[in-house]
């Protein structure tokens, strides 16, 4: 059964980590197997009781966490904090992450059809955990608050049914593409993992280079959507089919239309070809008073799946992943940070600025000599044209003077000689006009290059000052990278907890709870009662509900639990019952 298998995986994984660690046997709470398991059981059950980190135990007044381990009172906050720290010291974080992903994948594998022609789509996404600290941490944009904040990022992989398969923690400034590439390599390297042949992610993962890598790696398929600034209406696409009705309102009126098209993603890398993709266009009809039709574009290399199926598959990301995070991950403490240890690293934001400044200065160092060379060529060109113009004009003037003397000797009238000379000068000006235009063009080029050179030199001086400031700031204002091992360890335990709770919902709760969230199940999980210990079994008597509908559901849950013959972690039979008078304790 899932809960016993999960506990076996957890205890075996921790035991192996302790055995392989040189200092494992000497650490507090790690030497004794029973003590180690009691701490682990408390840590795994804390989120159900509303205690998401050890500090919360300071205000915990219940007895449930103590009863789980056979104690009158639960472990203290200090005790659990030391246990988490010791788990990190023995190096359990990475093995636990892999074991959680393998176990969750194996648990939900029976829900995935095994037919070779059946495609299994998995959903990638970030969950951003804001970290408030006086130190400068790697930052990212928080989608809910629309602010740039210091944070951790948790890469999550969900299956098509919304089950969480894998969680891995990264720096707050990690890009989704880098996370997906690293997460794919890590996940596919696990024993019970699936090959991620069909991936769905949001527009943050848009990258033509990444798309080509996916398609070249065994023909992996993907589905995502375009940003609104990547197209300019329907005219940006080559339609393959006309728009057809797709969405209807409660009155049967068409509110959304769908069409197929081809979209070519530009690859701006040198020597790389553009990437043609299949585009699914979803057009929302304009409302009254709104003349603009809203367009939503989904892209995929999959050419065979019907357009409506592709659209529904991507639109299901909201319910399969984002709602799963909201309904299961966050209520169990997914937004709570555990562990704030940090160490100074290079300030990535200033390093990016420094890299941009150095690249610009490198270009300016090429631009300024090139500008000087163009300026010298323009000056030589102007000098050459000016000398030629002067020579031709002097030669023509001498010819005019010679003609004037000849006409004077012939006795021509002064007015006729003057008119002839003016006509000759006009002809000479017309003949030398191209040379004069070239001289003017060369002069304009000289002025243009001189201004450009001056502008480049001023910008170079400015960038050098900025580079000096950024270099100094990198020394004075380092960035601090969080040690995510504690937080990742708790997150991996939470993967076990979420999977077990979803499995319980699917197996022991009535069919009406098929889509129930943790908020719906919490009253059942947190219900009061008392425990009776017998030599051959342990009985749990629950208080029950005053509400008759929930009481009937609880009776069915109790009956199904007893039918499955559940056991405690040490193998003792576990029986459930309901007190005859609800709320007697």
pLDDT digits (tens, 9 = 90+) for 257-294: 999 999 998 888 888 888 999 999 998 876 654 545 68
Instruction: Tell me how far apart the alpha carbons of residues 279 and 311 are, in angstroms, rounded to a whole number.
Output: 10
pLDDT band at 582 (very low <50, low <70, confident <90, very high): low
Q: Which residue has the tokens 């390093």?
A: 351
Question: What tokens were used for 210?
Answer: 């990444």
Span 189-208, pLDDT tens digits: 887 777 888 899 988 888 88
Residue 164 has pLDDT above 90, yes or no: yes
At 30 the pLDDT is 83
Lowest pLDDT segment from 283-287, 392-396, 508-512 = 283-287
Report pLDDT digits (tens) over 37-64: 999 999 999 999 999 999 999 999 888 8
- Using only the alpha carbons of the chain, give its radius of gyration: 38
- The per-residue pLDDT for 115 is 39
Same fold, 119-341 and 348-477: no
The H or E element that residue 247 is part of is strand 244-248
Compute the average pLDDT of residues 208-215: 88
Q: Among 113-117, 364-368, 480-484, where is mean pLDDT lowest?
A: 113-117
Per-residue pLDDT at 584 = 45
The secondary structure of 165-178, three-state, reads EEEEEEECCCCHHH
Domain locations along the chain: 119-341, 348-477, 527-585
* CB-based contact 566:538 (threshold 8 Å): no
Residue 416 pLDDT exceeds 50: yes
- Assigned fold of 348-477: Helix Hairpins (1.10.287)
Indicate the pLDDT class of residue 69, thresholds 50, 70 and 90. confident
Contact 142, 149 (CB under 8 A): yes
Residues 247 and 254 sit within 8 Å (Cβ to Cβ): yes
pLDDT reading at 215 higher than 50: yes
* Distance separating alpha carbons of residues 242 and 80, to the nearest angstrom: 62
Q: How many residues does the chain have?
A: 585
pLDDT-based confidence at residue 365 (cuts at 50, 70, 90): very high
> For residue 323, what are the CA distances in angstroms to 156, 356, 452, 512?
13, 39, 56, 19
**Which of 362-376, 403-417, 498-512 has the weakest average pLDDT?**
403-417
Can you spell out the DSSP letters for 82-104? HHHHHHHHTT-HHHHHHHHHHHH
| Mean pLDDT score of the chain | 88
Backbone dihedral region for residue 225 (phi beyond 0: left; psi -120 to 50: alpha; all else: beta): beta
The alpha carbon of residue 426 and the mean position of all alpha carbons in its chain are separated, in whole angstroms, by 73
Instruction: Enter the DSSP assignment of 343.
Output: E
What is the structure's pLDDT at 1?
A: 53
Structure tokens, 205: 């993962």
Cα gap 403→424, rounded to integer Å: 10
Structure tokens at 234: 């329907």
User: Which segments of 512-560 are extended strands (E)?
Assistant: 529-533, 538-542
| Res 117 pLDDT > 60 | no
pLDDT category of residue 2 using cuts at 50, 70 and 90: low
Is pLDDT at 114 greater than 60 in this prediction? no
Phi, then psi, of 275 in degrees rounded to 5: -115, 110
Note the pLDDT of residue 111.
Answer: 62
Give 203's Cβ-side CA count (13 Å radius).
10
Name the DSSP letter for residue 547: S
Tell me the two tokens of residue 413: 């009238």
Please count the CA atoms within 13 angstroms of the CA of 307 that sit on its side-chain side. 21
pLDDT of residue 366: 94
Q: How many CB atoms lie within 10 A of CB 202?
A: 18
Residue 251: per-residue pLDDT: 86
CA 34 – CA 37 distance, rounded (Å): 5
Domain 119-341, classified CATH 3.90.350.10, yes or no: yes
Q: What pLDDT is attached to residue 364?
A: 94
Query: What's the confidence (pLDDT) of residue 248?
Result: 86
Residue 352 in this model has a pLDDT that exceeds 70? yes
Residue 42 and residue 74 in contact, taking contact as beta carbons nearer than 8 Å = yes
Residue 414 has pLDDT above 80, yes or no: yes
From CA 116, how far away is CA 99, in angstroms rounded?
26
- Where do the H-state alpha helices sit in 329-478? 348-410, 414-476
387 — pLDDT class (breaks 50, 70, 90): confident
448-457 long-range contacts, CB within 8 A, separation 24+: 449/371, 449/374, 449/375, 449/378, 450/375, 452/371, 453/368, 453/371, 453/372, 453/375, 456/364, 456/367, 456/368, 456/371, 457/368
CA distance 398 to 400: 5
| Model confidence band, residue 98 (pLDDT cutoffs 50, 70, 90) | very high
Please tell me what DSSP assigns to residue 573.
B
Q: Concatenate the DSSP letters of all residues of 401-440 into one string.
A: HHHHHHHHHHT--HHHHHHHHHHHHHHHHHHHHHHHHHHH
Whole-angstrom distance, CA of residue 377 vs CA of residue 227: 46
Percentage with pLDDT > 70 across the chain: 95
């Amino acid at each position: 059964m899932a809960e016993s298998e999960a506990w076996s995986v957890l205890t075996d994984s921790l035991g192996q980590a302790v055995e392989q660690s040189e200092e494992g046997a000497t650490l507090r709470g790690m030497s004794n197997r029973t003590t180690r398991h009691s701490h682990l059981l408390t840590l795994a059950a804390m989120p159900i009781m509303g205690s998401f980190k050890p500090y919360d135990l300071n205000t915990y007044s219940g007895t449930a966490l103590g009863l789980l381990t056979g104690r009158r009172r639960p472990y203290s906050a200090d005790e659990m904090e030391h246990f988490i720290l010791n788990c990190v010291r023995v190096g359990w974080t990475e093995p636990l992450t892999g074991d959680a992903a393998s176990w969750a994948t194996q648990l939900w594998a029976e829900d995935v059809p095994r037919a070779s022609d059946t495609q299994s789509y998995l959903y990638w996404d970030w969950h951003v955990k804001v970290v408030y600290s006086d130190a400068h941490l790697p930052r990212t944009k928080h989608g809910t608050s629309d602010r740039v904040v210091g944070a951790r990022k948790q890469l999550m992989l969900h299956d098509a049914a919304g089950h969480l398969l894998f969680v891995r923690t990264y720096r707050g400034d990690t890009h989704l593409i880098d996370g997906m590439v690293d997460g794919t390599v890590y996940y596919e390297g696990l024993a019970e993992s699936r090959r991620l042949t069909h991936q769905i992610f949001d527009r943050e993962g848009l990258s033509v280079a990444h798309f080509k890598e996916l398609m070249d790696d065994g023909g992996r398929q993907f589905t995502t959507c375009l940003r609104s600034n990547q197209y300019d209406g329907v005219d940006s696409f080559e339609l393959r089919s006309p728009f057809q009705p797709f969405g209807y309102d409660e009155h049967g009126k068409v509110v959304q239309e769908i069409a197929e098209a081809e979209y070519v993603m530009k690859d701006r890398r040198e020597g790389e070809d553009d990437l043609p993709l299949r585009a699914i266009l979803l057009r929302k009809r304009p409302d009254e008073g709104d003349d603009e039709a809203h367009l939503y574009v989904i892209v995929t290399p999959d050419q065979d799946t019907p357009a409506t199926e592709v659209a529904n598959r991507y639109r299901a990301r909201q319910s399969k992943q984002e709602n799963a995070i909201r309904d299961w991950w966050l209520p169990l403490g997914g937004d709570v940070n555990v562990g704030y240890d940090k160490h100074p690293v290079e300030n990535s934001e200033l390093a990016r600025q420094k890299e941009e400044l150095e690249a610009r200065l490198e270009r300016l160092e090429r631009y300024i000599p090139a500008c000087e060379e163009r300026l010298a060529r323009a000056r030589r060109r102007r000098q050459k044209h000016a000398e030629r113009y002067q020579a031709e004009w002097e030669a023509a003037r001498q010819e005019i003077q010679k003609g004037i003397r000849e006409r004077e000797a012939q006795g021509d009238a002064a007015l006729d000689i003057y008119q002839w000379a003016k006509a000759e000068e006009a002809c000479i000006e017309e003949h030398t006009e191209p040379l004069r235009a070239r001289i003017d063009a060369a002069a304009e080029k000289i002025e243009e290059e001189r201004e450009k050179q001056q502008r480049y030199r001023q910008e170079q001086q400015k960038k050098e000052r900025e580079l000096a400031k950024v270099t100094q700031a990198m020394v004075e204002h380092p960035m601090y990278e969080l040690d995510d091992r504690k937080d990742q360890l708790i997150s991996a335990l939470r993967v076990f907890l979420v999977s077990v709770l979803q499995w319980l919902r699917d197996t022991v709760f009535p069919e009406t709870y098929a889509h129930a969230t943790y908020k719906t199940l919490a009253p059942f999980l947190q219900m009061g009662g008392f425990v009776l210990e017998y030599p051959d079994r342990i009985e749990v008597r629950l208080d029950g509900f005053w509400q008759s509908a929930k009481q009937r559901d609880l009776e069915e849950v109790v009956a199904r639990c007893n039918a499955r013959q559940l056991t405690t972690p040490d193998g003792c039979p576990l029986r459930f019952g309901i007190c005859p008078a609800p709320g007697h304790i």
